[in-house]
Structure 1
Amino acid sequence: MDSRIQAFVDQAQTTFGLGNYFLHHHTLWRDVNHFNETSYTLCLEWFPNGTESDEDGSNPEGTAIIEYNVNTGKLETAIFVMGETYAQDGITFNSGTEEVIKWIEQETGLTYNEQFQLHNETEDEIEFRAFIDGIPVSPSGYIEVKWNDNRELTFFSIHGEFPTDDQVIRETYNLSLEQAAHIAKEQVKGIEFPSFEQKKLFAMYAVEEIYIRNKDQMTKPFEMLQDGGTSKKVNHILQWNETIFGAFERKEIDLQEEITVDEAFSCTSSPTTRPITEEDEKKCVEVVERLLCQEFPEDAGIWRVTTLHRDKNFLVATLGTDLHETRVFKRKLSVFLDSHSMDVVNYIDNQFMLEMYDSFEASGDVAVTQEEAYEKLKGLFELQPFYVYDDEEKQYILCSKLDCHHGVNAETGEVVLLDDLG
């Protein structure tokens, strides 16, 4: 075993009291965060002495899974399978929350109240979130700790981002709903909302979440963040007037990577961080257009490439349509290209998810205007301060997240909790 790996093995065995365990397996992998930075993780799987993998290949009860960030040396995960631990003189929390916080600070290098704060606490579990001056952040960081009846650690996990002081542009928060009223009105959108319980589509007006910058009221889209890596926005409608006969031959999408010890300890940049050039974009559009000509010959002019992003050794094109634009879930294709040959390897179509709505009762006629819906909702808007990472400024900027948990039934005018439609 490489001496650098052995150092982590020794550290884990001592820290977590694994005298009753043996190291069954270790692996290396890498991730890319929202800032396009590569990090390497060492995973150590420790089996209790005298045990082996179950028949289905799963780990035996009590297995200790310990993960370290190779480059920082910090602990990322400690899991005892099924909440069972055979550790001797391991991690215990006899003094309550204060002791848990001090242990987290020691293991992670984070500072309580400056970078993370208590979010939720029960008898055997505690959760923390990333905060700046008491204000949540996006993308955020999460910490979770669990223990058993003997107060012995059975679960620890830290993931996401915890901004440091130099990553933050601090301001005094002063945005109000009155100031943001013109934006709030624009965010009231007509949408078809599915009720799985009633097997029906409801015509609704609901608020599309958005971030509003504190200092100048500029807006930033509220986006569900995908995994890190280079991405590029594209807006290219795919057109063709030819026919390609024969079915496309799909190949397996293999996202596994073989990571060497030297790559990990030198923090070699992942292929996911490579820039997407104009030539990459042009070639990608060409081959994706050819794929659709072959697989969806009747759909010329319907699909558009919206984004490109890298995922390990693949360049992934995301495609959408303008059909059913008012539905919560929209038609989407994800096309995987080999980033070296630029050949299409496979694609994922979410059509099967949308087909579940075919049996739903259609929504009725809209009898309420957008203006009327806004008037009904304006007293229910919520504005919450957030520090949001800005890709251009490369720092967290102070914003407000505009949201509303209610909607207006566009047929009846009734104001309802959107969660109640499920």
Structure 2
Amino acid sequence: MDSRIQAFVDQAKTTFGLENYYLHHHSLWRDVNYFNETSYTLCLEWFPNGTESDEDGSNPEGTAVIEYNVNTGKLKNAIFVMGETYAQDGITFNGGTEEVIKWIEQETGLTYNEQFQLHKETEDEIECSAIIDGIPVSPSANIEVKWNAKQQLTFFSVHGEFPTGDQVIRETYILSLEEAEHIAKEQVKRLEFPSFEYKKLFAVYAVEEIYIRNKDQMTKPFEMLQDGGTSKKVNHILQWNEPISGAFERKEIDLQEEITLDEAFSCTPSPTTRPITEEDEKKCVEAVERFLRQEYPEDSGIWRVTTLHRDKKFLVATLRTNQHETRVFERKLSVFLNPDTMDVVNYIDNQFMLEMYDSFEASDGVTVTQDEAYEKLKGLFELQPFYVYDDEEKQYILCGKLDCHHGVNAETGEVVLLDDLR
């Protein structure tokens, strides 16, 4: 075994008390975060002595899965399958929450009450979330720790990015709902909410979440940043006069990457961090249009390319319909292209998910106006400070997140909890 891997193996065995285990398998993979930074992970799977994989290939109870960031040396995840551990002299917590938090600080290099804070606590688990000056961040990041009745660690996970000081534009929060009233009114939208309990589509006025920048009240859509590599916003409607005959032939999508030791330990940037050029965009749009002419020949003018992003081995074009959607879940098409040849390889259409609502009873009709709905909801709006990562400024900026947990039934005028409609 390579000495660099062996060092992590020895560290895991000592730290987690794995004398009753043997190393069954190890593997490497890489990720690209929304800062467009590449990180490499070493996964070590330790089986309890005398056990093998189950018939279905799953790991036996008590298996220890330990993951390290090979570039920082920090622990990423530690999972004992089914919450069972055979560790001896491993990690135990006898000093309560304070001891667990100190252990988190030691393992992650993060500082409590500066970069993370306690979010949830039970007798055998704590969850922590990322903060900046006590203010939550978006995209979110969290840490979870669990232990058993003997206070032995059974689960540890770090998910997401925890901001550092140089990534933050710090400000004093000054936003108020009164100042944002004109924006709040615009965010009240009529949508069709599907209820599986009633098998019905309810026409409801609800607030479309949005971020409002603290310093100038500019708005920023509420959206999850795309992990996996470089992304680029596009706004291109696809139109054609003639279809292309012949069926499109799908090829298998294989997202597995072969990672070498030298790539991992030198932290070689992933190919997905390469910029998407204007020429890439042009060729991609042309290829997607050819694909639509073949597979969706009647849809000229219906689809719009909204984003391109690199994901593992592929360049992925996200398409949405160029039509006003009133349903909560929108039609979407993801088209996978070979970035070297710009040939379409495969695609995913979420139409099959939306078809499950075709049998639902339609709403009975709208009797409430948008203005009336706003008047009913305006006392229930929430504006919470958030530090939001801006992919153009490459910094976290202070915003207010405008949201509301209630809606107005457009048929009856009743104010309802949106969660009750599911």
- Is TM more than 0.5 here? yes
**What per-residue deviation string (whole Å, max 9, x for no partner) do you get for residues 204-236 of structure 1?**
111000011111111111102332411111111
8 Å contact from structure 1 (residues 68, 77) kept in 2: yes
Superposition pairs of residues 81-160 of structure 1, within 5 angstroms: 81-160=81-160
Residue 212 of structure 2 aligns with which residue? 212
Residue 272 of structure 1 aligns with which residue? 272
Unaligned runs of 5+ in 2: none
Is 1:69 equivalent to 2:80 in the alignment?
no
Residue 345 of structure 1 aligns with which residue? 345
Is 1:248 equivalent to 2:248 in the alignment?
yes
8 Å contact from structure 2 (residues 139, 224) kept in 1: no
Superposition pairs of residues 366-381 of structure 1, within 5 angstroms: 366-381=366-381
Is 1:168 equivalent to 2:187 in the alignment?
no
Deviation at 1:390, TM superposition (A): 1.6
Distance 1:225 1:87 in 2: 38
8 Å contact from structure 2 (residues 193, 327) kept in 1: yes
Deviation at 1:174, TM superposition (A): 1.7
Distance 2:400 2:343 in 1: 43
Secondary structure of 2:358's aligned partner: helix
AA aligned to 2:346 is N
Distance 2:395 2:404 in 1: 27
Deviation at 1:296, TM superposition (A): 1.0
Residue 316 of structure 1 aligns with which residue? 316
TM-score normalized with structure 2 length? 0.98
8 Å contact from structure 1 (residues 188, 374) kept in 2: yes
**What per-residue deviation string (whole Å, max 9, x for no partner) do you get for residues 362-392 of structure 1?**
1222211111111110000001110111223
Distance 1:96 1:198 in 2: 45
Distance 1:404 1:107 in 2: 37
Is 1:396 equivalent to 2:396 in the alignment?
yes
Distance 2:29 2:210 in 1: 34
Secondary structure of 2:19's aligned partner: coil
8 Å contact from structure 1 (residues 188, 206) kept in 2: yes
Q: Which moved more, 1:225-234 or 1:369-378?
A: 225-234
AA aligned to 1:112 is Y
Distance 1:273 1:364 in 2: 49
Q: Which moved more, 1:201-210 or 1:241-250?
A: 241-250
Flag the 1:214–1:243 CA change in 2: closer, same or farther, 3 A: closer
Deviation at 1:201, TM superposition (A): 0.9
**What per-residue deviation string (whole Å, max 9, x for no partner) do you get for residues 397-416 of structure 1?**
11110000011111211111
Distance 2:170 2:131 in 1: 13
Distance 1:387 1:331 in 2: 30
Secondary structure of 1:272's aligned partner: helix
Distance 1:392 1:296 in 2: 34
Secondary structure of 1:24's aligned partner: strand
Flag the 1:76–1:49 CA change in 2: closer, same or farther, 3 A: same
Residue 187 of structure 1 aligns with which residue? 187
8 Å contact from structure 1 (residues 116, 128) kept in 2: yes
Distance 2:166 2:286 in 1: 43
8 Å contact from structure 2 (residues 237, 322) kept in 1: no
Deviation at 1:257, TM superposition (A): 0.2
Secondary structure of 1:23's aligned partner: strand
Distance 1:243 1:127 in 2: 54
Residue 416 of structure 2 aligns with which residue? 416
Deviation at 1:194, TM superposition (A): 1.1
AA aligned to 1:319 is L
Deviation at 1:324, TM superposition (A): 5.6
Aligned residues: 422
**What per-residue deviation string (whole Å, max 9, x for no partner) do you get for residues 1-55 of structure 1?**
1111111011000100011111110000000001000000000000111111111
Distance 2:302 2:237 in 1: 7
Aligned CA RMSD, in angstroms, stands at 0.9
Residue 35 of structure 1 aligns with which residue? 35
Residue 293 of structure 2 aligns with which residue? 293
Runs of 4+ that moved beyond 4 A: none
AA aligned to 1:327 is R
Distance 1:131 1:8 in 2: 30
Secondary structure of 1:359's aligned partner: coil
